[in-house]
Structure 1
Amino acid sequence: MTPTGHHPAPAWFDISTPDAARSRRFYQEMFGWPVNVLDETYALVGDTDGRPTGGIGQSGPDSPFTGIVVYFRVDDVDSTLVRAEALGGTRVMEPTETPVSRIAVFADPDGNLIGLLSR
């Protein structure tokens, strides 16, 4: 349980890959995900009602990670990231504003990448 008294659940996922077009095709065929390409670097994927539940992005030399990251909804990205570091995590992506949320990524003590998301 977090200090605020609730248990964060997965809220979003990102797949960052060196070949986003290939990954979009793969996951669309694999799971039947609808794909909404926003630009050459990022596409939203979702369930059959069209609500996005994740994204597939193009990684590059300055990308903070390659692979999949599951984001957990938290009350405050910045303070939760500081808490993760105090517990032995490592900051991977600084808190960043997106059009719909604030996000950050850290590695846990075993190197697993975990995303944080707040509205």
Structure 2
Amino acid sequence: MDFFAGVLGWTVIAEPGGSFSGWVGDRLAAQVVAGDRGWHVFFGGDEPRGLTDDSSVDSGRVLHGPWAPPPRHGEPCWVEYLTSTPDESAGYWKRELGWEAAAGGRGLGLYTSSRHGDPRPVAGSMSSCSEGIAGWSVYFAVDDMEAALARVSELDGVVRSGPSRLRIGSIASIEGPHGGSCGLLEQPAGWGGAWSSKPAPS
């Protein structure tokens, strides 16, 4: 928690049961609990329920996403789903959340949602070569990539990749000294960085 708070500028609050929440202003950015399961992602929906691969639906107010306010430094700004069965996964997310899938090229894909009107990019997808591998990766917004990566090193973290310029924007992958990893996206204009300003693929 100290590592992510130090890199992303969170205000940390201790929660009952030994977990910690990280806040950016009045918006919850993440909750950190003991364990090694990785990220658990919550999506907006009508009925709270569990989904596959450490994700759930919550009926509360959506704090981050394509229809939420633009992400500030330290807030989630994109999620990507890694899977070895992209066609099967696309069918699952369509059934569960009404998402549509579009090809992004080179093993990349894009999920869009029309839940509140015109389709908007809601999540990315990446093909895995390893059978049975599936899960979510989370990106957080940073105002200055160079400064954020310098802070990672100061706090004994590791820059796993990047910074690289991709279609979504300038990204990097980091890992903390005690585990836990995430992506960073520099100055995203909205959810999904550059995807937020482009029409959804048909």
Q: Does 1:57 align with 2:126?
A: yes
- Distance in structure 2 (CA, Å) of the matches to 1:42 and 1:27: 16
Which residue of the other structure, out of 10, 14, 18, is the alignment partner of 2:84?
18
Partner of 2:141: 73
1:39-61 per-residue CA deviation (whole Å, 9 max, x = no partner) reads 36111113213111220111348
Q: Which residue, out of 84, 87, 103, partners 1:37?
A: 103
1:23·1:56 contact (CA, 8 Å) conserved in 2? no
Residue equivalent to 1:111: 179
For 1:18, the aligned partner's letter is S
Give the structure-1-normalised TM-score: 0.77
- Structure 1 residues 94 and 40: alpha-carbon distance in aligned structure 2, compared to 1, 3 A threshold: closer
CA distance in 1, matches of 2:178, 2:81: 20
Contact 1:45–1:52 (Cα < 8 Å) also in 2: yes
TM-score, normalised via structure 2 length: 0.49
Alignment partners' CA distance in 1, 2:94 and 2:146: 34
Indicate which of 47, 59, 67 corresponds to 2:113.
47
1:16 shift after superposition: 1.9
- The code of the aligned residue for 1:98 comes to L
The RMSD of aligned alpha carbons is: 2.6
Letter in 2 for 1:42: L
Confirm or deny: 8 A CA contact 2:73 2:140 kept in the other structure.
no
| In structure 2, distance between residues paired with 1:31 and 1:40 | 25
Task: List alignment gaps of at least 5 residues for structure 1.
Answer: none
> What percentage of aligned pairs have identical amino acids?
29
Change (3 A) 1:40 1:32: farther
- The answer (yes or no) to whether the contact 2:73–2:143 under 8 Å persists in 1 is no
Offset, 1:71: 0.7
Runs of 4+ in 1 over 4 A off after TM superposition: none
* Uncovered stretches (5+) of structure 2, i.e. residues with no partner: 1-7, 10-24, 26-71, 188-202
